[in-house]
Amino acid sequence: MVAFPRAEEEIEVLRRFLSHLDAPGVQGDAVSENARAQAESYLARLEAPVRIAVVGLARAGKSSLVNLLVGEAVIPTKARQSVMPAVILRHSDAYRTTAGWWDREEKVFDGVAMDAALSEAPDIVTVGIDCEVLRDVWLMDLSDLEDSGAQANALFVLNRLADMIVWCTNAEDPWTSEERHLWGMVPKTVQRRAILAMTHSDHLSAGTLTPTLERLEATVGAAFRKVLPLSTTEAWRALQGDATQPERVWAASGIEPFMIAMMELAIECRKTELEKVRKGMEQHLGPLLPQLPQVEDTAPAPEPRPAEPRIVSPRVPEVAPVPSSPPRAAPEPVAPVHAASEALPVSPSLAAWKRRMAGLVDSLRTGIVEEDGAFLAAAQDAVSLFLGDLAAMDAASAEIAWIQNEFERAQDLLILMQYEVDPANAETAALLLAQLTDALAHPVSAAA
């Protein structure tokens, strides 16, 4: 397997750059403050892990799979009467469990304390455990996606936090109509990085498993990078030594090919993000470094380290993955700070956005889209696709970062609107799309 990409050199440069800007006597101006914002954004992206969402219907084996991947029974797998919030597993030297909310302070418990955290009715639970694989990836268990009461929160987490997705479908009844419906709610940018795990494969006979897998691949294979059968039950038996021939049982469980495929896709996500940051640093911070006195001397150069032959390398920062602010029920007006000195270099994406808006208007005119819910879903799709266009661009600038932030905020709002009973939501969404179009037509800088 290819090693996880390392970014120590870039992280060191960014830290030294920010340290210089904070040094006594350094005068801040609009250029340096804009560079600071860029550097802080790049540093956060480099220090963040790849976040893998494990999703599927109830009893599809999501929690069992997440527990297996970390080698511990962290997440409850028994049926619960209450709704299970999103659960995120991340690396931590000290075991701790955090109950989090979008609108108030979190509550921390020592050790793995799922029952205590769940008793607080949180929006999200984060569990820190000492697991090597979690140095490079976070695993997010999104349960109750089909529950109308929990759906909005689960989709919000999926949109805001997921870099890639593992969709679990039960081998006994794979890819149901309900799953197809829920899959349509997944952000398009995340759909492009998805693996389909056909769980409970041990429930099928050898003569049934192969044709079932072939039908599934023919039906939805094009939508996923891989379609892989696996049995967490058999893998656990092998891992715990309960099988007579554990090596054979482990191999037959299908978990090893799945783990390889999952980590290869995570590495691809990491490489893509690292390349974008490197290009942005070269374009926007590179010209400033020689102009800043003492930037090379503000911190000692890192001592050379011997190469480590392990796959997992960069450490995950000890920060909670909860967004910094709660979701809002209505959009704030998109107001330019000041006119940009240069046009935003996104003309192909802007043209695509205008075509999508024209298509949406035509759908309204012809009656293809008649209900408010369909309009909100179509608006969210348009925003999600545009974010995908931005993610695929090589260029990076303050203007693009500002536009991306506005579209991400809009996406959050459109997701939430679909699960709120408010007759004004469609009108609010239309206004939001108009504001986004105006923002693209009159791009601004992130600096005041």
Using the Cα atoms of residue 184, residue 333, residue 365 and residue 358 in order, give the sign of their dihedral. negative
The model's confidence at residue 398, banded by pLDDT at 50, 70 and 90, is: low
pLDDT recorded at residue 82: 79
pLDDT exceeds 60 at position 411: yes
pLDDT recorded at residue 320: 38
pLDDT recorded at residue 443: 60
Q: pLDDT: is 112 or 349 the higher one? A: 112
Taking CA atoms, 313 is separated from 8, 47, 275, 321, in Å, by 10, 12, 17, 20
- Check: CB of residue 344 under 8 Å from CB of residue 399: yes
pLDDT exceeds 90 at position 1: no
pLDDT exceeds 80 at position 250: yes
pLDDT exceeds 70 at position 151: yes
The model's confidence at residue 180, banded by pLDDT at 50, 70 and 90, is: very high
Quote the CA–CA distance of 82 and 98 in Å, as a whole number. 18
The residue to which tokens 């695929």 are assigned: 392
Q: pLDDT: is 237 or 422 the higher one? A: 237
When pLDDT is averaged across residues 60-70 and rounded to a whole number, the result is: 96
pLDDT recorded at residue 2: 65
> Given the DSSP bridges, would you call strands 137-142 and 86-91 parallel, antiparallel or unpaired?
antiparallel
- Check: CB of residue 55 under 8 Å from CB of residue 142: yes
Q: pLDDT: is 141 or 344 the higher one? A: 141
φ/ψ region of 294 (left if φ > 0, alpha if ψ in -120 to 50, else beta) reads left
Taking CA atoms, 198 is separated from 345, 358, 411, in Å, by 42, 39, 30
The residue to which tokens 């905020």 are assigned: 409
Q: 86: closest CA among 135, 152, 42?
A: 152
Exposure string for 91-126, b = 16+ CB within 10 A, e = fewer: bbeebbbbbbbeeeebeebeebbbeebbeeebbbbb
Q: pLDDT: is 400 or 202 the higher one? A: 202
When pLDDT is averaged across residues 353-362 and rounded to a whole number, the result is: 82
The model's confidence at residue 399, banded by pLDDT at 50, 70 and 90, is: low
- Check: CB of residue 61 under 8 Å from CB of residue 200: yes
The model's confidence at residue 393, banded by pLDDT at 50, 70 and 90, is: low
pLDDT exceeds 80 at position 263: yes
Question: In percent, how much of the chain has pLDDT > 70?
Answer: 81
pLDDT exceeds 90 at position 108: yes
pLDDT recorded at residue 30: 73
Looking at domain 51-267, its CATH architecture is: 3-Layer(aba) Sandwich (3.40)
Q: 139: closest CA among 220, 65, 244?
A: 65
When pLDDT is averaged across residues 10-17 and rounded to a whole number, the result is: 91
Tokens of 162: 């997921």
Q: What is the 3-state secondary structure (H, E, C) of the chain?
A: CCCCCCCHHHHHHHHHHHHHHCCCCCCCCHHHHHHHHHHHHHHHHHHCCEEEEEEECCCCCHHHHHHHHHCCCCCCCCCCCCCCCEEEEEECCCCEEEEECCCCCCEEEECCCHHHHHCCCCCEEEEEECCHHHHCEEEEEECCCCCHHHHHHHHHHHHHHCCEEEEEEECCCCCCHHHHHHHCCCCHHHHCCEEEEEECHHHCCHHHHHHHHHHHHHHHHHHCCEEEECCHHHHHHHHCCCCCCHHHHHHHHCHHHHHHHHHHHHHHHHHHHHHHHHHHHHHHHCCCHHHCCCCCCCCCCCCCCCCCCCCCCCCCCCCCCCCCCCCCCCCCCCCCCCECCCCCCCHHHHHHHHHHHHHHHHHHHHCCCCCHHHHHHHHHHHHHHHHHHHHCCCCCCHHHHHHHHHHHHHHHHHHHHCCCCCCCHHHHHHHHHHHHHHHHHCCECCCC
Listed by start position, the domains of the chain span 51-267, 347-441
Quote the CA–CA distance of 125 and 108 in Å, as a whole number. 10
pLDDT exceeds 70 at position 375: yes
pLDDT recorded at residue 303: 46
- Among the ranges given (250-264, 269-283, 315-329, 357-371), the one the predictor scored with the smallest mean pLDDT: 315-329
The model's confidence at residue 154, banded by pLDDT at 50, 70 and 90, is: confident
One-letter amino acid at 126 equals: T
Q: pLDDT: is 350 or 224 the higher one? A: 224
When pLDDT is averaged across residues 338-343 and rounded to a whole number, the result is: 37
pLDDT exceeds 50 at position 395: yes
Q: pLDDT: is 289 or 52 the higher one? A: 52
Quote the CA–CA distance of 109 and 243 in Å, as a whole number. 36
Quote the CA–CA distance of 316 and 50 in Å, as a whole number. 9
When pLDDT is averaged across residues 59-78 and rounded to a whole number, the result is: 95
pLDDT recorded at residue 397: 61
